[in-house]
Amino acid sequence: MRTNIVTATVDDFHALSRRNKMTTEVVAPPRCQACLSTDIQVHPASRRTGLVIHECRGCGLHALAERPELDDLVELLDVDRDWFAGWVERTRGDVIDSSHAQVLDRLATMVGTGDDRSLFDVGAGEGGFLAMARDKGFRPAGNDVATGAIDLARERNGIELFMGDLSTLGDIGQYDVVTMWCVLAHVPDGNRLLSDALELLKPGGVLYLQTPRWSAMDTAGMAAHDVTKGRSTRITDRRLALHHMALHTPTSMRTNLERLGYEIVSIEPKVRYSLNTADYLGSLGVGQKAAERLAKPIDKLLERDLFFRNVIDVYARRPH
């Protein structure tokens, strides 16, 4: 359940609703999933999608007011091997590999050396991160909910993934490290996922997660969304939809994890765009030729670490 689901559009979300197989979660009165505050600003519904964004005035979390049930989301995301392979081809492999290597080197300093270091990757996708972890001396394990990911991980990297969500795994206290690369924003109940991950960790074990961050770009998009009463929503419709049901701030992330029992090591905003720039611009509604022209100067800014800090890197521990 990695960033592959960026192409699952808001139209898919509404298709789920129309099938009458989905119950939606609308909290009344609204309550922040991260800090549990009820001081919530309700933004105008998008005129294009009908989706409503809740903003916590306490910690800054922005999240969809309406979310699918997990079983319905899993059904939507059960894509085949060819679809998944096509998605991988659209990503910036050099950026992903570099990020994976940096994170694994840091995790190694946190859990020490040895032949029995275990690592579980949640939503492991095609298994590239787990293959690199294996090469760096970790004993790898992971899961996904897409059969295409399971097949591709086995085919390309010799990784056997568990099929299903963490609640059915049962490996309590078995892992030195649990990782999540852009998974938290993709699930309807982030608290359940984080609690399940905490149970997988040994005492003193480390959680690493990357999750989309509420950035200056999102603030600008939300301002346009509000002033037009939900008519100008190109940015907000792209950033908060079925593939990103919640965008954290460092404050909301810290509050959320500490409330669930984690000890924070660090929370760091990063510039990290895993999708090819032209494809990302296309997902915002930019035409192909214009996207190709705009991609060149944006790529130069990305290379110099000068673009919007779009994700948060989080390191936290399960207490001893």
Supply the pTM of this predicted model. Answer: 0.87
Cis peptide before 29, with omega less than 30 degrees from 0? yes
SS3 content of the chain, % helix, strand, coil (to 5): 45, 20, 35
Domain encompassing residue 35: 3-317
Each of the 320 residues of the chain gets a pLDDT tens digit; together they read: 433 344 444 455 445 444 434 444 444 579 999 999 999 999 999 999 999 999 999 999 999 998 888 777 777 766 777 776 776 787 888 889 999 999 999 999 999 877 789 999 999 999 999 999 999 999 999 999 888 889 999 999 999 999 988 888 888 899 999 999 999 999 999 999 999 999 999 999 999 999 999 999 999 999 999 999 999 999 999 999 988 999 999 999 999 999 999 999 999 999 998 888 888 788 777 888 898 899 899 888 888 888 899 999 999 999 99
CATH number of the domain enclosing 43: 3.40.50.150
How many domains would you assign to the chain? 1
* Separation in Å, CA 270 to CA 5, 32, 215, 307, 309: 21, 24, 10, 10, 5
**Helix (H) / strand (E) containing 109:** helix 93-111
Write out 239-259 in H/E/C secondary structure.
HCECCECEEECHHHHHHHHHH
